[in-house]
Amino acid sequence: MGTGSHEPSDRKAKHDETIVSDGSRPAGKTNSDRSGDTQIDGIRDGKEIPKAIGRFKILDLLGRGGMGAVYLAFDEKLDRKVAIKVPEFSSSQSKNALIRFYREAKSAAKLSHPNLCQVYDVGEVSGQHYIAMAYIQGHTLSRYIDSSRKNDPKLAAMIVRKVAKAMEEAHGSGVIHRDLKPSNIMLDNRREPIVMDFGLAYPKEDGDEESRLTQHGAILGSPAYMAPEQLKGETDKIGRVSDVYSLGVVFYELLCGEIPYPGTGSTIALISRVLTEEPVPLSTTRPDIDPRVVKICEKAMHKDVAHRYQTMKEFSDAIGRYVKDIEVAAKAEGSKRIKIDEEIECARKLCESKQYTAALSLIEEVGELTRGIDEKLHKWSKQQVAWLKDKIHESEESNPSLPTDGKDLFGDFLDLKKDPLTNSPNSLKYSYDRRDANFWTRMTPRQRKQFIVSTATGIAAVIGLIIALIFLGI
């Protein structure tokens, strides 16, 4: 992998280690007698750091893992920074491990996708094998997984969807990864996921059994992320659906901060649980998760191959539908929020002119719009409805005098409009501009009605009197 900084050591947990076919973990290289074009620059963590490998000038050690070391280097011929992967094999592993190493280069070199790490070169210098690939500035997905911090479901879904679409491209080229896990997925500085490390990948070609470098009953991969058919070594069943399973586990871990089988001690115990037990339900670990996400995750991680998504396209399409649905819902929510703000503003203006009854109907509608969606704003609207009803009742009993305290009836409405989730409103306050005061605006609707009736009755009486006088000739 090419990374812009070192990963925290506490993420190098057992469940994230890669197991090779003989059941062991790749050992570090101990041979220090290197010469020729590979120059030694120093030692870090007991390991020699080369000064250069061929035309690549080593700048820094980016990371060291089970399959070898990764260095930041400068390609003097093409004038660019690259990541150089150097394998470290034990003597018992060297033959098959070296074949896998070159197969990684060949598998990755045939792929072209913005979310797949690009391979530039592969070769050997004075017995030192290497792969030169794109230098990705960022961190592995492991950095963003923490049991004490839950990731946003939409963000996790979008990351996994991009990885699924990248793997759809790989599968379309006949390449199966077989070791998808957080430490093999980088997030660059633009938050784009980049799939790394095709060291266990194999071309899915008819009659190419030897290229898989595995036998029935052998294990290659990281047990926590491996599909049951991989753990059983059932080579005839290992394929695209196996990568789907692995990516489903990554999705689960992004959402929950832990693998589906947490607290497992040894690798053997973990493998046994994956084969015989159901994972801890996502809905139990994250009760707040949308049921649609739970369904997607469960289907991707189904033990039965036939019940999983059969392709990465099916997986990414399912996530895509979920993301689209929540975006549509968010847009509708945004429109509803605008309507709520407009009605609050209108109610405020009505209260400024003491039209409490009209304002009451608007605030009651705000209460209906926020029911079950925004409890704080809903509670606030109920408080204002009660206050407005009291004001209407007071106005009907007597004609209120002009207030002199200068307080704003809708002050809390204005504050709430700025940030409706952080206010704790209590009662509405009222301001009244004396320049706008007149006998009509001071009246309640009931008083206005009484005034109109009385005025009309008086006018009718006067007209009747005039007609009577004319008729009598007086």
pLDDT per position as a tens digit, 321-346: 999 998 888 888 788 888 888 888 88
Nearest-angstrom CA–CA distance, 358 and 356: 6
The region that residue 473 occupies, defined by phi over 0 for left and psi between -120 and 50 for alpha, beta otherwise, is left
Q: What is the pLDDT of residues 40-56, one digit of tens each?
A: 454 455 567 888 999 99
C-alpha 132/C-alpha 61 separation (Å) is: 14
pLDDT in tens, 260-291: 988 767 888 888 999 999 999 998 989 999 99
Q: Are strands 175-176 and 202-203 parallel, antiparallel or unpaired?
A: antiparallel
Q: Worst-scoring range by mean pLDDT, 19-28, 90-99, 117-126, 333-342?
A: 19-28
* Token pair of 2 as six digits: 């090419």
In angstroms, the CA 254 to CA 152 distance is 9
Which of 20-24, 220-224, 329-333, 372-376 has the weakest average pLDDT? 20-24
Return the closest-CA partner of residue 211 out of 181, 175, 184.
Answer: 175
Select which of 75, 121, 179, 243 is catalytic.
179
User: Residue by residue, what is the 3-state secondary structure of the chain?
Assistant: CCCCCCCCHHHCCHHHCCECCCCCCCCCCCCCCCCCCEEEEEEECCEEEEEEECCEEEEEEEEEECCEEEEEEEECCCCEEEEEEEECCCCCCHHHHHHHHHHHHHHHHCCCCCCECCEEEEEEECCEEEEEEECCCEEEHHHHCECCECCCHHHHHHHHHHHHHHHHHHHHCCEECCCCCHHHEEEECCCCEEECCCCCCEECCCCCHHHHCCCCCCCCECHHHCCHHHHCCCCCCCCHHHHHHHHHHHHHHHHHCCCCCCCCCCHHHHHHHHHHCCCCCHHHHCCCCCHHHHHHHHHHCCCCHHHCCCCHHHHHHHHHHHHHHHHHHHHHHHHHHHHHHHHHHHHHHHHHCCCHHHHHHHHHHHHHHHCCCCHHHHHHHHHHHHHHHHHHHHHHHCCCCCCCCCCCCCHHHHHHHHCCCCCCCCCCCCCCCHHHCCCCCCCCHHHHHHHHHHHHHHHHHHHHHHHHHHHHCC
Give the separation between CA 30 and CA 43, rounded to whole angstroms: 12
Nearest CA among 73, 74, 122 for reference residue 100: 122
- 60 tagged catalytic: no
Residue 412 has pLDDT above 60, yes or no: no
Distances (CA, A) of 239 to 119, 162, 248, 331: 23, 20, 15, 39
Helix axes 375-397, 411-418, angle to 10 degrees: 160
pLDDT value for 313: 96
Please give the Cα distance from 49 to 435 (Å, whole number). 84
Radius of gyration of the chain from its Cα atoms, rounded to whole angstroms: 36
What whole-number distance in Å separates Cα of residue 428 and Cα of residue 413? Answer: 8
Q: In this predicted structure, what is the pLDDT of residue 66?
A: 61
pLDDT band at residue 250 under the 50/70/90 scheme: very high
| d(C-alpha 317, C-alpha 329), whole Å | 18
Amino acid 147: pLDDT: 77
Position with higher pLDDT, 173 vs 99 = 173
Cα distance between residue 409 and residue 471, in whole Å: 56
Phi/psi class of residue 269: alpha, beta or left (left: φ > 0; alpha: ψ in -120 to 50)?
alpha
Contact indicator for 216, 165 with CB cutoff of 8 Å: no
Q: How confident is the model at residue 395 (pLDDT cuts 50, 70, 90)?
A: confident
Whole-prediction pTM: 0.65
